[in-house]
Each structure stands twice: as C-alpha cells, then as structure tokens.
A and B are shown apart, each in its own frame.
Chain A
Amino acid sequence: MTSIIEEMWKTKEIIFNFAKSDLKIRYRNSVLGIFWSLIEPLLMLGVLFIVFSTMFKFEIPNFPIYLLVGIVCYNFFKNGTVFALNSLSNRSTLMTQIYFPRSIPAISSGITAAIMLILELVVLAIFIVIFQFVPPITILFLPLILALLFILVLGIALPLSVLNVKYKDTEFIWMVIVHAGFFLTPIFYQFDMMPVQVQNVLQFSPMVQIVTMAHHVVLYGTLPSVTSILYAVGSISVITAVGYLIFRKYQAKIVEEV
C-alpha cells in the first residue's frame, strides 16, 4: 500500500492533469458545464423530498438536510467508481504510446469525483443556511468521514479500472450494484426502520456506516458509535486490500488486453 501512496505523490501532476481533462471532456459542448454536477443531486433531492415527505409521510426531522447529506455522500461514491470504470479503457491509445503507472486513471477518477463533492458540499452549506439549521460542532468531523469514503472509492476504483478492460461485464455488474446500493443505504429512510434481520446483514455495507456516521455528525450532534466506526473501518480495509490485490494482479499486462 505504501508504494501506491508514494506513486500518487510522485505523479500528482499527471493525476491532476487527467482529472482536469476528464472534466473538460465530460462537459464539452455543454453550456452549463460543471454546474450539471450540481443540478443532478438537486433534482434527486427534489424528487425524493416530494415522494417521501408528502406521499409516505416520513417524519425525519430536518428531512431536506438529512436527504442531502446522504445524497452527497452516495454521489461521491457513485461518481468516483463509475468514472473509474472506463478510465483506463478510454485511454487505450495513450497506453500503447506512452508509459504511465496504471493506477493513475483510477486515482484521478477519484479526484474528479472529489472536485464535484466539494461543489456539492457548497450546495449543502447553502441549504443549511436556507433552512436556518444550526449545525452542531460535531460537523467538523465530516471531513474525516469523507476521507474514509475517499479511501473506499480508491479501493474500488483501482480494480474496476483494470477489470473493465479485461471483462466488459464489470461495467454492467457495477452499475446494478450502484443502483441497488442507493436503496440499501439509509439515504431517504432511517436505518432502524429496516427489519432487524436486514439490518444485521446491511451493517456490513461500508456505505450504510458512512452515511449513518455523516447523519450523526451533521444532524444529531453526536459522535458516531464505536460499532459504526469499527464496521466502517473494517469493511473498508477489507475491500481496499482485496481491490488493491486484484489491481496488482492485472495491471502489468493490462495494456496487452486493450
């Protein structure tokens, strides 16, 4: 693992260059450009709010903020991993013409998603002001939770980027997981609304723990429970370690598969 952090540091200019060109290419020929990354979560927020506050009458205090915290976290997870899927395969010509470490496209996908996350956090801040919600001091722990989430994103982005070159199925499987995960994460409901048996299974999901922890520090003014932290750190360590091993197994010869 230390070698990859070293490599990240040495190649930071390439990583940011890739992230910048990814954003440029993503929003080419669009008038609103990067603001599209704000419109999408806002539309999502609107729909979820209307459906669950008027039709299902969920009674979660500060529901818009609650929703937005979950959406922002989940969007970061989704963007980082989904961008990574084609990050290597889109660079097939480049791969055969100049050598660069194979981890760079996946890492810069994570960076691209992190740039979008920062914009979404600005929107969250605006909502907090609009709804005159006074955030508790524990909100200062949010960056730590997001840093943990960033590790998870990298741990999944790295193997996805090489696997999707080798097996195109990766993309389809991952999109299903991302869509299912949205409903299996307490974004528009509270985790304890779930039956206990389901809770017992889903507590192993790192996204469940991350979003729960974010709700704690932003809304309730409480620190996340020790169990939450242990489950989150444990599951993220396992996923990242396995992901890194998969990446390492395939990365050297992946250029021959493009």
Chain B
Amino acid sequence: MSDYAISVKNISKKFKLYHEKRDSIFEAATSFFQKKRHYEVLQALDDVSFNVKHGEIFGIIGRNGDGKTTLLRIISKIYTPDSGSVDVKGSVIPILSLGLGFHPDLTAISNIYQSSILLGFKKEDITKRVDEIIKFAELERFADTKVKNFSSGMQLRLAFATSVLVDPDILIVDEVLAVGDVNFQKKCLDTILSFKKRGKAIIFVSHSMGEISKFCDTVMFLKEGKVGNIGSPAESIAAYQDYLAKHPEINPKENISNNI
C-alpha cells in the first residue's frame, strides 16, 4: 500500500446547488419557515477510488462538470470529502487554473513569495530561487509589474514556473497547456517528463486526447462523478468516446474537439 504516491479511497462529495442562493440573514430566517427547499443536492463525486504510483503520469478525462476539478481540490486539501480518505505522500502543488492564487494587485515577485510561503517554503529559500523562477517564466521585464496587467499566458507561465521550482513531490496539471504558446508548452512537457523520471507523481487533466494518450501511463475516465474506467490511455479514451457517442445530446461540440 505504501508504494503509492497518492491513494484515494472511496471519496464521495455532495454539493448543495442553490437555485436561489440565500445570502442574507433575513432570507435565511424567512426560508426557515418555508417548507420549500432552495437547493438540490449535487453528487459531485460518488465512491471514487484510485492509486497513483511514484513516477507515474495519471491522466483524468471526462466531461466538464463531471467532478474532475472537485477531485483535484480534494487531493490538494482545499475541499474536505464527505466520506472516504486521501493519502498523499509528500508535498502537493495544485495548478488548478490560471495562477496559483495570485493577487492581481501584487507584483510578480510578491506573488511568488506569497504562493511559495503558502506552499510551505521559508523566505530565505524563496529569495534564492526568485530569479530562477522569473527566468523560467520568461518574465524578466515584468518582475515588478502587477499581475493584473498580465495576459493569461503570462499568468500561466508564472504559476507553472513557481510550482515547478519549489520542487513538489506531486504535481497536478489541470488543463493548463492549452493556454501557453508552443515554446512554453514544450518547456512544460519537458519539465513534466523530467519530474516523471525523478520518480514524482503527476496528475494530468486535459481535454486533448492526443496529449493524454501520448504522455499518460494510466488514465481514469470520470463519468458523472463515478469512476467510468481506469486503465491504459487507449482503453479509457475508448470508454469516454463510447460514452459521448451514446449521449450526443450532452455536449456535441466537445465530442468533436476531442476527436482532433
């Protein structure tokens, strides 16, 4: 058991989906007397279990809204699951979207400090690495610029550079490659592969089936919050595309782009 870098057991997570969100105490008080329910329960994840080995690139595919991001947030401790357990060996870096919790009104340098301190780094260690991070992100000219003036590609580069150079044991890559330009994409993929070589675990979420089949060792297909399939990339992609073919009404556009 202890061979796994990430071990997820029977995770379930429900959300209250408010159709008319109660944001004031008055509404909370009045709705207390009404029998009407203001929300429905959304089962975001239902009994999901899987293991990721050291040195493995673990792909996750599935439609938008089928629980991929919720799962990543549970692995990185942002959400607490309703039931089940997550066992993670070492430090986790989430790259959940553009940015790494960057504050728009702080400069690139201040944001590197903020994010790395949050990820458990000492100030002295960050000071040693700051120049390297800026260089890797190719943002030398913008080091003292506020992040709100950055393009999304620049924010992504800063986030990726920060999280790679703090050298985590586990890297979570959530659909970020689509934003960078070709050069930076190559740099990211090289980094991810070198992480793999050094025995680190990588969770890779993408809508590009090409990338998934090229880089992943194991792929999980999340189907409406449940495990649809865990297996080789070819198997899981086939299961996913089979599922999409049977439900063409759900999201035909995505179906087309996935076949590219």
Contacts and interface: CB of A to CB of B under 8 A. Distances in A.
Interface of A: 13-14, 17-18, 21, 24-25, 28, 91, 93-100, 167-169, 252-253, 255-256
B117 A17 contact: yes
B110 to A, nearest CB: 6
A96 B97 CA distance: 10
Contacts of B222: none
B115 interface: yes
Contacts of A24: 105-106, 110
Interface stretch (B2-10, B23-31, B51-59): B23-31
A218 B94 CA distance: 52
A14 to B, nearest CB: 5
Nearest to B97: A97
Interface residues of B, number: 31
Given A21-B106, A96-B96, A97-B97, A167 B119 contact: no
B122 A98 contact: no
Interface of B: 15, 23-26, 28, 73, 76-80, 94, 96-97, 99-103, 105-106, 110, 113-115, 117-119, 122-123
Contacts of B80: 252-253
B117 A97 contact: no
A129 B97 CA distance: 55
30 contacts: A13-B117, A13-B122, A14-B118, A17-B114, A21-B103, A21-B106, A21-B114, A91-B101, A93-B101, A93-B102, A94-B101, A94-B103, A95-B78, A96-B73, A96-B96, A97-B78, A97-B97, A97-B99, A97-B100, A98-B78, A98-B101, A99-B76, A99-B77, A99-B78, A167-B23, A167-B25, A168-B23, A168-B24, A169-B26, A252-B80
Contacts of B28: 167
A98 B79 contact: no
Nearest to B95: A97
Nearest to A163: B25
A128 B113 CA distance: 40
B86 to A, nearest CB: 12
B76 to A, nearest CB: 6
A25 B110 CA distance: 11
